[in-house]
């Protein structure tokens, strides 16, 4: 079986799937189905995704009603579309809730969930039952097996999608981080701890929890604090979620070995790893292809934010095909995270907004576009939102733009555009799991980590560079790596980074690298040795006043670099010192050295005494990243100061230059390219003696094939 759902020989699929979620059992009404499928086919759409609800298909023990979903796949085959079957174990039948009450998810406060409605599909049975319960898991496994056996030979089937948005739990009544404390999950946690520590006394010593006499006394921590119990719990939750994803894949594959399996997250590993187990790298390992939800209503219209999501998922997919699984197609009215936001900052959706965000995802390597709805839901809190078509299913100016893009996708396929992927970026921002767990366990929020990592991406992006993301084992692909919010690093992480720098890498690290190590301990002697050896400094000042340090700055060559969260002042023991804290850092830090450059082995390091990524995230005013890129020796960006995004894609012996303009006015650009010939396949461009000139329309792109 091909791992690429676009090239599977057994089930020919569109090279670039384009479509939306269509059926969620309660919406749309049956009378419109045939008309909507015909409309989608006319508009060039090639796929529909359906939420296949366990509760709807299995309404009573031993009773199976597939009729609604059968009709969806039949209509797909009749209209030349393919179907993504989204399994929804998270909608469990009410009778299963009653059969296994001990499998209900339990909130931190001890309350067991009741079956509830999902705002995203206006149907009940959510958030489902714990798959750590043997009985509930067996029932869920039967649903997956029957699903695969029923549709494996259907001509309308394209592939399966598991674990919508790759997070846990979904549609629960409380915060995701407050789950799951049910007895089955407690038992799974104990099994995980046994495998990790082996002996109960070893666990007691590691946790400083003395007096255990039996493993049954070990419980998940009901409070979140920066102690080993919480850190182990956070790591277990990620492992448990990934294991359950793999179980879904294995179960479906046993029933249908030929059909590819995909999943999609939210491009939120930087923020919701500790909250909901959202580990894009590990989730992507469990499936044949991977994708992401990114809707501007949740994040805003800033181009850097959209690009960071695409680049993160491309890195996490490790060369597998990936797709934009939920792409904003219509307005969003009433959500708490939207309060006070301007209409044009992702709340309303204009046709040109749809076009340019399609192009941004495509330029970043996404090879499929989906919308959360074809047409909006007709009831529930998300009524009349997210879909490009009207509430009645009729075309709108937004849907006409999706049709234009869908037809264009097929039109350019012969050029080889969809075989080319972005070349490696200028640098990588390192993703380290324990850094986020530290932020959450210490501060009760992941914002300090997320803003430090995203702010660094924004800084390099807005300076004109292409930053990638990288897990620790991808670091060797890059010469230049940025390490955000590294206050907690496992000993094996420190060893990996150290070896990479010593072999010739250039590392820029934010403050307190490795201050806390395994299980949250700090060892002053080890930390001092790391600072002296790898960074050439000794610590002479420290402040952990996260509540009052926003905007605390140091000065580098007369340029103010804002930071925040923590401050660390240095004294050289071999490093070159570049910057000092100013009066914004407070009377005790002011004047302390805050930036150190050092040679280490064949490589070098630059250490900042605070968190420039965090300081840049909200303000966008830090000069640090442009200066750091020059210090590292990166070549000058190709379009300095321009809002136009340049991405070079390469594959099958062909190169394509994407010039995407997210601005609301036209822009002309000129840049040097290594090519003798250039042929525009979108827009217009001219090549003259290696200099390419293009006029890029507002919220559109110019794409050039280079020879």
pLDDT tens column, 484-511: 999 999 999 999 999 999 999 999 999 9
- Residue 274 contacts residue 436 (beta carbons within 8 Å): yes
Question: Residue 110 burial (CB < 10 Å; 0-12/13-18/19+)?
Answer: exposed
The residue among 485, 460, 464, 463 whose CA lies nearest residue 270 is 485
Residue 652 and residue 611 share a domain = no
- Give the number of residues written for the chain: 707
Residue 379 and residue 490 share a domain = no
Has residue 193 been placed in a domain?
A: no
- Residue 170 contacts residue 164 (beta carbons within 8 Å): yes
For the chain, the domain total comes to 3
Strand-pair category, 261-265 with 157-164: parallel
Q: Which pLDDT value is given to residue 2?
A: 34
Token pair recorded at residue 182: 């049910």
End-of-domain residue from the set 602, 632, 662: 632
Token pair recorded at residue 287: 């499936």
End-of-domain residue from the set 632, 657, 673: 632
Which segments of 491-594 does DSSP mark as H helices, in order? 491-502, 524-530
Which residues 6+ apart lie within 8 Å of 399 measured at CB?
43, 329, 388, 389, 390
- If DSSP codes are grouped into helix, strand and coil, which group holds residue 147? helix
Token pair recorded at residue 202: 């070893």
The strand ranges marked E within 22-69 are 47-53
Quote the CA–CA distance of 30 and 380 in Å, as a whole number.
18
- Residue 306 contacts residue 360 (beta carbons within 8 Å): yes
Q: Which pLDDT value is given to residue 135?
A: 98
* Structural domain containing residue 381: 18-175+238-417
Q: How far is CA 672 from CA 197, 611, 701, in A?
A: 57, 35, 18
Place of tokens 């059926």: 23
Residue 532 and residue 461 share a domain = yes
- Residue 290 contacts residue 280 (beta carbons within 8 Å): yes
Which residues 6+ apart lie within 8 Å of 67 measured at CB?
none
Quote the CA–CA distance of 463 and 339 in Å, as a whole number.
31
The residue among 324, 247, 228, 233 whose CA lies nearest residue 287 is 247
Has residue 224 been placed in a domain?
A: no
Has residue 219 been placed in a domain?
A: no
Helix 134-151 crosses helix 228-255 at what angle (to 10 degrees)?
Answer: 30
Q: How far is CA 95 from CA 58, 69, 136, 243, 624, in A?
A: 10, 21, 11, 26, 58
Quote the CA–CA distance of 561 and 205 in Å, as a whole number.
43
Has residue 201 been placed in a domain?
A: no
Token pair recorded at residue 406: 């869908």
Residue 370 and residue 502 share a domain = no
Query: What is the CATH number for 305?
Result: 3.20.20.80
- Residue 260 contacts residue 290 (beta carbons within 8 Å): no
Quote the CA–CA distance of 482 and 509 in Å, as a whole number.
6
Place of tokens 């590294």: 486
How far apart, in Å, do the first and last CA atoms of the chain sit?
Answer: 33
Query: What is the CATH number for 691?
Result: 2.60.40
Neighbours of 552 (CB within 10 A): 28
Place of tokens 């097996």: 145
Quote the CA–CA distance of 352 and 675 in Å, as a whole number.
31
Quote the CA–CA distance of 383 and 368 in Å, as a whole number.
26
Phi, psi of 410 (to 5 degrees): -75, -35
Token pair recorded at residue 111: 């309350």
Residue 380 and residue 296 share a domain = yes
Quote the CA–CA distance of 417 and 421 in Å, as a whole number.
9
Question: Residue 445 burial (CB < 10 Å; 0-12/13-18/19+)?
Answer: middle
Quote the CA–CA distance of 51 and 657 in Å, as a whole number.
37
Helix 624-632 crosses helix 447-462 at what angle (to 10 degrees)?
Answer: 70
Strand partners, 422: 649
Phi, psi of 492 (to 5 degrees): -70, -30
Has residue 389 been placed in a domain?
A: yes
The residue among 444, 535, 533, 525 whose CA lies nearest residue 486 is 535
Burial code of 268-280, b = ≥16 C-beta within 10 A, e = fewer? bbbbbbbbbbbbb
Has residue 213 been placed in a domain?
A: no
Residue 449 and residue 391 share a domain = no
Quote the CA–CA distance of 163 and 161 in Å, as a whole number.
7
Residue 246 and residue 106 share a domain = yes
- Residue 84 contacts residue 158 (beta carbons within 8 Å): yes
Quote the CA–CA distance of 218 and 148 in Å, as a whole number.
39
Has residue 63 been placed in a domain?
A: yes
Query: What is the CATH number for 477?
Result: 3.40.50.880
Residue 474 and residue 603 share a domain = yes
Residue 538 and residue 653 share a domain = no
User: What's the per-residue H, E or C state across 283-336?
Assistant: HHHCCCEEEEEECHHHHCCCHHHHHHHHHHHHHHHCCCCEEEEEECCCCCCCCH
Which residues 6+ apart lie within 8 Å of 216 measured at CB?
190
Longest dimension (CA), the chain: 79
Does the global pTM surpass 0.95? Answer: yes
End-of-domain residue from the set 632, 654, 683: 632
Place of tokens 């009603």: 65
- Residue 129 contacts residue 138 (beta carbons within 8 Å): no
Residue 413 and residue 451 share a domain = no
Tell me how many degrees the CA angle 217-219-225 measures, rounded to the nearest 5.
Answer: 135
Q: Which parts of the chain register pLDDT below 50?
A: 1-10
Residue 325 and residue 259 share a domain = yes
Has residue 13 been placed in a domain?
A: no
Residue 569 and residue 533 share a domain = yes
Tell me how many degrees the CA angle 144-147-148 measures, rounded to the nearest 5.
Answer: 90
Tell me how many degrees the CA angle 646-699-410 measures, rounded to the nearest 5.
Answer: 80
Q: Which pLDDT value is given to residue 1?
A: 26
Quote the CA–CA distance of 550 and 446 in Å, as a whole number.
16
Strand-pair category, 691-696 with 685-688: antiparallel
């Amino acid at each position: 079986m091909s791992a690429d759902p676009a090239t599977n020989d057994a089930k020919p699929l569109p090279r670039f799937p384009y479509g939306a979620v269509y059926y969620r059992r309660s919406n749309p009404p049956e009378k419109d189905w045939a008309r909507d499928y015909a409309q989608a086919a006319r508009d060039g759409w090639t796929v529909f995704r359906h939420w296949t609800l366990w509760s709807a298909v299995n309404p009573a023990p031993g009773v199976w009603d597939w009729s609604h979903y059968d009709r969806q796949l039949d209509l797909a085959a009749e209209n030349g579309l393919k179907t993504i079957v989204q399994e929804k174990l998270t909608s469990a039948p009410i009778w299963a809730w009653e059969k296994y009450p001990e499998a209900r998810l339990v909130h931190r406060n001890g309350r067991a969930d009741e079956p509830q409605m999902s705002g995203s599909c206006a149907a009940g049975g959510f958030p489902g039952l714990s798959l750590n319960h043997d009985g509930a898991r067996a029932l869920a496994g039967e649903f997956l097996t029957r699903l695969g056996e029923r549709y494996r030979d259907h001509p309308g089937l394209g592939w399966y999608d598991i674990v919508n948005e790759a997070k846990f739990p979904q549609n629960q009544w409380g915060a995701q981080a407050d789950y799951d404390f049910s007895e089955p999950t407690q038992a799974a946690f104990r099994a995980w701890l046994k495998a990790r520590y082996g002996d109960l006394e070893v666990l007691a010593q590691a946790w400083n929890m003395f007096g255990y006499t039996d493993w049954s006394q070990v419980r998940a921590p009901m409070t979140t604090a920066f102690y080993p119990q919480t850190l182990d719990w956070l790591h277990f939750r990620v492992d448990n979620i990934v294991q359950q994803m793999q179980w879904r894949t294995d179960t479906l594959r046993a029933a249908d070995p030929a059909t590819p399996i995909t999943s999609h997250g939210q491009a939120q590993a930087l923020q919701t790893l500790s909250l909901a187990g959202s580990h894009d790298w590990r989730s992507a390992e469990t499936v044949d292809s991977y994708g992401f939800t990114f809707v501007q209503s949740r994040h805003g219209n800033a181009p850097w934010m959209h690009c960071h999501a695409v680049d993160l998922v491309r890195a996490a997919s490790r060369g597998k095909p990936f797709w934009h699984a939920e792409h904003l197609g219509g307005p969003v009215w009433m959500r708490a995270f939207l309060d006070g936001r301007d209409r044009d900052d992702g709340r309303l959706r204009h046709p040109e907004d749809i076009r340019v965000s399609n192009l941004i995802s495509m330029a970043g390597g996404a090879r499929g576009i989906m919308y959360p709805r074809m047409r909006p839901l007709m009831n529930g809190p998300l009524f009349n939102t997210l879909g490009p078509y009207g509430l009645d299913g009729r075309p709108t100016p937004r849907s006409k733009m999706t049709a234009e893009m869908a037809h264009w996708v097929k039109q350019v396929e012969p050029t080889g555009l969809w075989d080319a992927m972005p070349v490696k970026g200028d640098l990588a921002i390192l993703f380290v799991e324990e850094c986020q767990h530290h932020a959450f366990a210490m501060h009760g929020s992941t914002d300090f980590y997320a803003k430090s990592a995203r702010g660094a991406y924004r800084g390099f992006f807005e300076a004109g560079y292409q930053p990638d993301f990288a897990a620790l084992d991808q670091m060797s692909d890059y010469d230049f790596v940025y390490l955000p919010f590294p206050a907690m690093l496992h000993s094996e992480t420190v060893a990996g980074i150290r070896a990479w720098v010593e072999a010739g890498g250039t590392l820029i690290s934010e403050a307190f690298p490795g201050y806390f190590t395994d299980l949250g301990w700090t060892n002053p002697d080890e930390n001092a040795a790391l600072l002296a050896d790898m960074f050439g400094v000794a610590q002479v000042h420290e402040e952990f006043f996260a509540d009052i340090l926003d905007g605390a700055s140091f000065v580098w060559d007369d340029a103010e670099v804002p930071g925040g969260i923590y401050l660390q002042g240095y004294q050289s023991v071999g490093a070159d010192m570049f910057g000092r804290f100013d009066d914004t850092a407070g009377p005790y830090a002011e004047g302390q050295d805050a930036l150190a450059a050092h040679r280490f082995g064949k490589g070098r390091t630059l250490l900042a005494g605070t968190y420039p990524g965090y300081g840049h995230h909200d303000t966008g005013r830090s000069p640090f990243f442009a200066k750091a890129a020059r210090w590292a020796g990166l070549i000058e960006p190709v379009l300095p100061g321009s809002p136009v995004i340049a991405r070079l894609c390469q594959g099958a012996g062909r190169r394509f230059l994407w010039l995407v303009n997210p601005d609301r006015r036209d822009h002309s650009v000129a840049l040097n390219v290594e090519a003798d010939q250039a042929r525009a396949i979108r827009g217009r461009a001219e090549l003259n003696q290696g200099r390419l000139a293009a006029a890029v329309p507002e919220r559109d792109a110019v794409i050039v094939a280079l020879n």
